[in-house]
Amino acid sequence: MPRVSFERIHKAFGAVTVLRDLDLSIEHGEFLVLLGPSGCGKTTLLNMLAGLTDVTGGRILIGDRDVTDLDPKDRGLAMVFQSYALYPTKTVRGNLRFGLASARLPREEVERRVAWAARLLQIEPLLDRKPAQLSGGQRQRVAIGRALVKHAEVLLFDEPLSNLDAKLRTEMRLEIKRLHDELSPTVVYVTHDQIEAMTMATKIAVMNNGVIQQFGTPDEIYERPANLFVAGFIGAPAMNLKRARILRRGGLVAGVFGNGQQIDLGDYAFAKAPQEGSEIVVGMRPEYFGPPDAPAREAAAVFDLPVAHTERTGSDATGYLRFDEGLLSLRVEPGQAARLAGGQKVRVAFPKGKASLFDAATGGRL
């Protein structure tokens, strides 16, 4: 299974530039997720790899082959679309066979692969049905099967789960992950859903406005977002992002928020020593706060704040505290959330080593 590289990719539709100077490379067997809001250029990038859209500038390589100008069928890849694109008049078996129509394989080999994919995707009992007789999840399996029978070296997915309800999406996520673990193809998978990205990817490229904002493992992107866009996009409830000013006194480095509260930044690995008075944004993930009113040990910050409201979703709960002009969210135990009354003051602590800091002017990570 080969590596996939985009080199200095540029794409314009007429006068509108959609992708600019994009470099991206993954190793063989990786599961790359292109993640970003609608309209950021994910499908355009995927379609250029598939050969369905022309490249305005730059090169695309699969393994050592420059495929930039190759026909889609000569690129050694298979694609699964959001819309499934199954043939309504063909049975499931017919749709799976059709994935191999252009391959001119011996009949036994076609049947062997169809049987293999049907077993892998657990759709053997459905082989004689037409797409109209299938549920959404079953159709999606057939669409994936049609890509698998090609034994393609690279599998492409464009938002394959967005038409499914939440429960099925969770199941199919596990299914696709299992297929990747078993078959190890190189995968490029487009989604706007951060949960899909975090659960399936070995590498995520976070995109916005046609530019890759960060490329890294799910952990790197979650723990060390490269800028304010990534910090705000990844995580639910979202990372708290609060403006502060740098305070330096002797050996002390702290952030002072608008409400006068402080956070100790003495252990932060600044790329470059921060200037006294410089404007920053402090990022604090909701789940890293200690439980309300627990004794704080080794904390970077301790805040006394009134409760605004709480939100419970069964297994999980979020408390919202009034902080400065806005709210500070933190994850709490559902049982404790039930006991937090609006207006009640609580003490919460944020641990050392968990904050992310950004330059307030550029949005870049400090």
Ligand X SMILES: Nc1ncnc2c1ncn2[C@@H]1O[C@H](COP(=O)(O)OP(=O)(O)O)[C@@H](O)[C@H]1O
Min dist CB 226 to ligand X, Å, is 19
Question: Interhelix angle for 166-183 vs 136-148, to 10°?
Answer: 20
Min dist CB 13 to Mg ion, Å, is 14
Instruction: Kindly tell me which of 44 and 95 has the beta carbon lying closer to Mg ion.
Output: 44
Min dist CB 305 to Mg ion, Å, is 40
Q: Is 41 an interacting residue with respect to ligand X (CB under 6 A)?
A: yes
Q: Is 54 an interacting residue with respect to ligand X (CB under 6 A)?
A: no
Instruction: Kindly tell me which of 39 and 258 has the beta carbon lying closer to ligand X.
Output: 39
Binding window for ligand X (CB under 6 A); candidates: 37-45, 106-114, 134-142, 342-350: 37-45
Q: Is 205 an interacting residue with respect to ligand X (CB under 6 A)?
A: no
Q: Is 52 an interacting residue with respect to ligand X (CB under 6 A)?
A: no
Q: Is 44 an interacting residue with respect to Mg ion (CB under 5 A)?
A: no
Instruction: Kindly tell me which of 43 and 240 has the beta carbon lying closer to ligand X.
Output: 43
* Burial class (CB within 10 angstroms; exposed 0-12, middle 13-18, buried 19+) of 73: exposed
Min dist CB 222 to ligand X, Å, is 21
287-326 footprint of Mg ion as x/- string (CB under 5 A)? ----------------------------------------
The helix or strand, by DSSP H or E, that contains position 312, with its residue range, turns out to be strand 299-312
What residue 87 binds from Mg ion, ligand X, none (CB within 5 to 8 A, per partner kind)? Answer: none
Q: Is 315 an interacting residue with respect to ligand X (CB under 6 A)?
A: no
State how far the Cα of 175 lies from the Cα of 181, in Å rounded to an integer. Answer: 10
Alpha helices in the chain (DSSP H): 42-50, 92-98, 107-120, 136-148, 166-183, 194-200, 218-223, 228-233, 334-339
State how far the Cα of 8 lies from the Cα of 22, in Å rounded to an integer. Answer: 5
Q: Is 42 an interacting residue with respect to ligand X (CB under 6 A)?
A: yes
State how far the Cα of 241 lies from the Cα of 221, in Å rounded to an integer. Answer: 16
Q: Which of 66, 53, 61, 51 is nearest to 11 (CA)?
A: 53
What residue 41 binds from ligand X, Mg ion, none (CB within 5 to 8 A, per partner kind)? Answer: ligand X
- The residue from 4, 36, 43, 328 that contacts Mg ion (CB under 5 A) is 43
Min dist CB 158 to ligand X, Å, is 7
DSSP state of 295: P
Min dist CB 81 to Mg ion, Å, is 10
Q: Is 9 an interacting residue with respect to ligand X (CB under 6 A)?
A: no
- The residue from 8, 12, 23, 39 that contacts ligand X (CB under 6 A) is 39
Give per-residue burial for 251-276: e unless 16+ CB within 10 Å, then b: eebbbebeeebbbbbeebeeeeebee
State how far the Cα of 144 lies from the Cα of 96, in Å rounded to an integer. Answer: 9
What residue 113 binds from ligand X, Mg ion, none (CB within 5 to 8 A, per partner kind)? Answer: none
What residue 343 binds from ligand X, Mg ion, none (CB within 5 to 8 A, per partner kind)? Answer: none
DSSP state of 322: E
DSSP state of 364: B
State how far the Cα of 332 lies from the Cα of 346, in Å rounded to an integer. Answer: 12
Phi, psi of 221, rounded to the nearest 5 degrees: -70, -35
- The residue from 5, 33, 35, 43 that contacts ligand X (CB under 6 A) is 43
State how far the Cα of 160 lies from the Cα of 162, in Å rounded to an integer. Answer: 6
Min dist CB 26 to Mg ion, Å, is 19
Q: Is 33 an interacting residue with respect to ligand X (CB under 6 A)?
A: no
Binding site for Mg ion (CB under 5 A): 43
Binding site for ligand X (CB under 6 A): 13, 18, 36, 38-44
